[in-house]
A = this chain, B = another copy of it.
Amino acid sequence: VDAAISGGASAVQVRDPDATGRELHELVAWLAQHLAGSGVPLIVNDRADVALSAGADGVHLGQFDLPVPAVRAMAGPNFVIGLSVTSIDQLDEVKAWSVGTVDYIGAGPVFQTLTKPDAAPPMGTDGLRAIASASPVPCVAIGGITEADVEAVMATGVSGIAVVSAICAADDPERTARRICEAMSR
């Protein structure tokens, strides 16, 4: 995490579907303290209760997780809520929500990914462009994105890129994060 942030990563998401609630809480509470004052928001996948009770900044919800409006009502206006969108049809409910219900969408998988074996089929940059241009909130691209793909992905109009393997499995995570950020700027 420190290497990624040194390289320019501007947000951190914790995802560990195999961890117990207790393990996830410990990890998130530790990270929240570690990142306090850094300006880098800490987002927890799926578990709004872990995020809220461990001092994270927000939760990222999938289509099979808690409904976004229910979490917004529980968590208040200052909690960050993101939603995974895997097809353009799923934007319909996003558009129907009042402003401030969801803060951003994560659109993907753009390409094939091994990180999430149960992921939806890849949408490619054409599918991503359709979602990014129709989304009423910032759209972050995710799924199998490597350093080499960054410029093509950014050209679809997304606001940002999320990666797991590209940085976490890199020999030098800081350098890779920096090169991804530089490619995003181009």
Contact = CB atoms under 8 A, between A and B. Distances in A.
A46 B21 contact: yes
Interface stretch (A66-74, A102-110, A137-145, A147-155): A66-74
Contacts of A54: 70
Interface of A, helix, strand, loop or mixed by DSSP: helix
| Copies of this chain | 2
Contact of A21 (B25, B64, B74): B64
Contact of A22 (B22, B29, B66): B66
A53 B25 contact: no
A108 B41 CA distance: 40
Interface in A19-54: 20-23, 25, 29, 46-50, 52-54
Contact of A20 (B21, B48, B64, B71): B64
Contact of A47 (B23, B49, B63, B71): B49
Contact of A64 (B22, B46, B73): B22
30 contacts: A20-B64, A20-B65, A21-B61, A21-B64, A21-B65, A21-B66, A22-B65, A22-B66, A22-B67, A23-B64, A25-B66, A25-B67, A25-B70, A29-B70, A47-B49, A48-B53, A49-B49, A49-B52, A49-B66, A49-B71, A49-B74, A50-B66, A52-B74, A53-B66, A53-B67, A53-B70, A53-B71, A53-B73, A53-B74, A54-B70
- 6 cross-chain pairs, A with B, having the tightest CB-CB distances, nearest first: A49-B49, A48-B49, A53-B70, A20-B64, A21-B65, A53-B74
